Amino acid sequence: MQIFLDSADVEAIRRAADTGLLDGVTTNPSHIAKSGKPFVEVVKEICSIVSGPVSVEAVAETAEGLVQQAEQIASLAPNIVVKIPMTVEGLKAVPVLEEQKKIRTNVTMIFSSTQCYLAMKAGASYVSIVLSRLDAVGNESDVLIGDAVQTKQNYGFLSRIIAGSVKTQNHVLSALRAGVDIATVPEALFFQMFRHPLTDEGLAAFDRDWKKVVR
């Protein structure tokens, strides 16, 4: 499973990329606005830090508008993937972008198995299931990501499944068990995955004992 950072904070992305374990980045308008920097500047800087896919969102309401926006966004860097909304107009735009324009798409804001199926059927390179929002309203996100993986296997779809907005290590475990392709995480969770109290305890004991070793 690949790990993407869900952020537009270039310093956070740089810290995660420095570990050598970051595979890509996903952004959204809220992340971009929080950065306080111009859109184009932020996107170009992120794309210069990571060589993997960087998902950037188009927000037009019509298929034609989404295609136009996607072309503008994709022109900023070669590793950009354009996020497309899970709507009728969005899925009309996907095959135009993927097949005619050769622009990779990431259909986002997916909350049901049938939405996921339609996004894969439309030919999206990526489909994003937003786990934290599902859990917030009492839906079982682990069931949905399991269904998504099963649907992909049943019908031979090529879309890569993203467990999006992963907030806890339990979410990470659910994604790993289901066999999803990618999990998107915030910086805090990314670095939390490196740590365990038993690791800290064991290393501290080794350090104490090393100081007693005759040298």
Letter for the amino acid at 146?
A: G
Question: The whole model's pTM is what?
Answer: 0.92
Residue 171 CA to chain centroid, in angstroms? Answer: 13
Domains of the chain, CATH where assigned:
2-210 (3.20.20.70)
> Catalytic annotation on 34?
no
The whole-number pLDDT of residue 112 equals 92
3 state SS of 166 = coil
The whole-number pLDDT of residue 138 equals 54
Q: Is the pLDDT of residue 137 over 60?
A: no
The whole-number pLDDT of residue 45 equals 97
Segment 120-140 shows an average pLDDT of 82
- Work out the pLDDT band at 63, boundaries 50, 70, 90: very high
Please, what is the end-to-end C-alpha distance for the chain in angstroms?
Answer: 44
Q: Are 55 and 27 in contact (CB under 8 A)?
A: yes
- Work out the pLDDT band at 215, boundaries 50, 70, 90: confident
Measure the CA–CA gap between 65 and 174, rounded to whole angstroms: 36
If one compares 134 and 33, the residue with the highest pLDDT of the two is 33
Residue 76 gets which letter from DSSP? T
Condensed to tens digits (0 to 9), the pLDDT of residues 5-56 reads 999 999 999 999 999 999 999 999 899 998 889 999 999 999 999 999 999 9
Closest CA to 43 of 2, 86, 84, 13: 13
Q: Are 133 and 166 in contact (CB under 8 A)?
A: no
Q: Which of 34, 37, 44, 83 is catalytic?
A: 83
The whole-number pLDDT of residue 139 equals 62
Closest CA to 30 of 99, 104, 133: 133
The whole-number pLDDT of residue 212 equals 85
